[in-house]
Chains A and B, each alone.
Chain A
């Protein structure tokens, strides 16, 4: 009994000591972890062991415009940390030479849990994700072969690759592995909501937030489900009646039944990632809820969950309920994540 107490005191001391070490101004070493309220991740770094050197290299690459054809934009240009790696003030992705894409640049966090990437789910694996914006003529407009050539010409990159992977012969694969280490390690799980569900300090919900969470669970959580706040499915949420401008998921599957469907996004950090929807058409959360309340349009592929038995569409919400839901959504902001120096431009 006594020895038990000694051990507990010792563990307590260790915890206290280790928390002491966590000076927020000092960059912590990188690690990947599965938060206790999260499900199992999809990407587990099995064939790409996370190392400090690999992560550092991925971070350099993420913020280096060398990945774009004319060396003007980096991943970080359209994925900014202060807005959870979304693109502040931009409806559509903004490429080189002021070209504009057709979709909104989403936030980047908890990438290791994604089953697919992009609004249409066209990218099937975290490691090959960067090939899409690099190769997109409206974004970085560069070939992988040329990126690899440019990197091999750089003495400092050869040194960094050597440190990360033991070779200074830079290949597309090693570059992609480094970027996967950087993005895969971006775990965002310290919002007020997380602290609330984990019973940690800083997790006290107001009555309004509690009510908002209840309403959210009743009205939104069949799609924005679980602790990632998405089921990663593809759905048509009634934004449009025809999809010639952007067929969405059907561009990938070539199936008519997938027209107008886009991935259900995570709602973590949603307060920061405006504008919303695949084309960034809504600028505020109020507009988003307004859409779900009375803007849902009927089309062949409209999600059945948005259609009532009487044929009416949308999700009924009173003004008070909308305020409460938005109060809850704001508890999903992870300020520790957006201020974590490890993910900042080096």
Chain B
């Protein structure tokens, strides 16, 4: 009789343990995440109105640096993907809060990576008036050749007497400037849980935007085309995963 009771108790404990184990495998509910896009210049931090030297030994000082990242997809351990609806973000170096991209209500789980595009998908470039990050009041919209500027860098340089103005965008072949970025967290996992906010820390190395670029020619790019594509190929390489905070 006593033994039987003990068995029942043990079985019960075992069930509780198993149940909590299982819960750990697929946590329930939704949690919040943040992706912090830290702009850097190689190993230095990046700021406007500061001199930086490019790989080609040109000195640049930025007055504006803004870019769109959008269409975020979070990838779970088991390979299933969560596409974040309406995920359009404008990172603006003049507004530090804008580099912290907020994701509300991500399904809880362990994530091994994420994917996004630099720029704005072609559908939103051709669907009329938009809002939020995509409002035309954000100074990232070409009104004469309608579509979004994906990446905007402006500033001064001794090598560019009237300054440099790079407005990079374009969603149509053969001059699409949309680039897909994938982050693999390696052995790290982003553990999204109910009632928590976890953080992915990523870096955007602005120095790489100027790989093989001569700011003296052209000093200005302001429409989709072959020159914009050169910059797009560069910004495809400048984002990297750094670490997660769970």
**Chain A contact residues, CB within 8 Å of chain B:** 47-48, 118, 122-128, 131-132, 134-136, 143-145, 148, 171-173, 176-177, 180, 251-252, 254
Q: Smallest CB-CB separation from A179: which chain B residue? A: B129
Q: In the complex, which residues 56-103 of chain B have their Cβ closer than 8 Å to any Cβ of chain A?
A: none
What 1/0 flags go to B204-246 for Cβ under 8 Å of A? 0000000000000000000111100000000000000000000
Known: A125-B128, A180-B128, A254-B226. A131 touches B146 (CB 8 A): yes
> Which residues of the partner chain A approach B223 to less than 8 Å between Cβ atoms?
251, 254
**Cβ of A251: which chain B residues have Cβ within 8 Å of it?**
145, 223
Whether the Cβ atoms of A176 and B146 lie closer than 8 Å is no
Binding site for A on B (CB under 8 A): 125-131, 135-139, 141, 143-147, 175, 223-226
Q: Which of B136, B146, B175 contacts A122 (CB 8 A)?
A: B146
Q: Do B144 and A132 touch across chains, with their CB atoms under 8 A apart? A: yes
- CA–CA, A176 and B131, complex, Å: 11
How far in angstroms is the closest Cβ of chain B from A191? 29
Evaluate contact between B143 and A136: CB separation under 8 angstroms. Answer: yes
Determine if B143 and A173 form an interchain contact, defined as CB atoms under 8 angstroms apart.
Answer: no
Once bound together, how far apart are the Cα atoms of A165 and B126, in whole Å?
23
Contact A172 B225 (CB under 8 A): no
User: In the complex, which residues of chain B have a beta carbon less than 8 angstroms from the beta carbon of A180?
Assistant: 128-129
Cα-based distance from A172 to B225 in the complex (angstroms):
28
For the complex, give the distance between the alpha carbons of A143 and B145 in Å.
16
- For the complex with contacts A123-B143, A145-B139, A173-B130, 7 further pairs of A-B residues with Cβ separation under 8 Å are A122-B144, A122-B145, A122-B146, A124-B126, A127-B128, A128-B128, A131-B141
Q: Which residues of B contact A171 (CB under 8 A)?
A: 131, 135, 137
Least Cβ distance of A134 to chain B in Å? 7
CA distance A132 to B224 in the complex (A): 17
B126 to A125, Cβ gap below 8 A?
Answer: yes
How far does the Cβ of B218 sit from chain A's closest Cβ, in whole Å?
Answer: 13
The contact of A125 among B127, B175, B224, by CB within 8 Å, is: B127
Q: Is B144 a contact partner of A144 (Cβ separation < 8 A)?
A: no
Docked pose: A132 CA to B128 CA in angstroms: 13
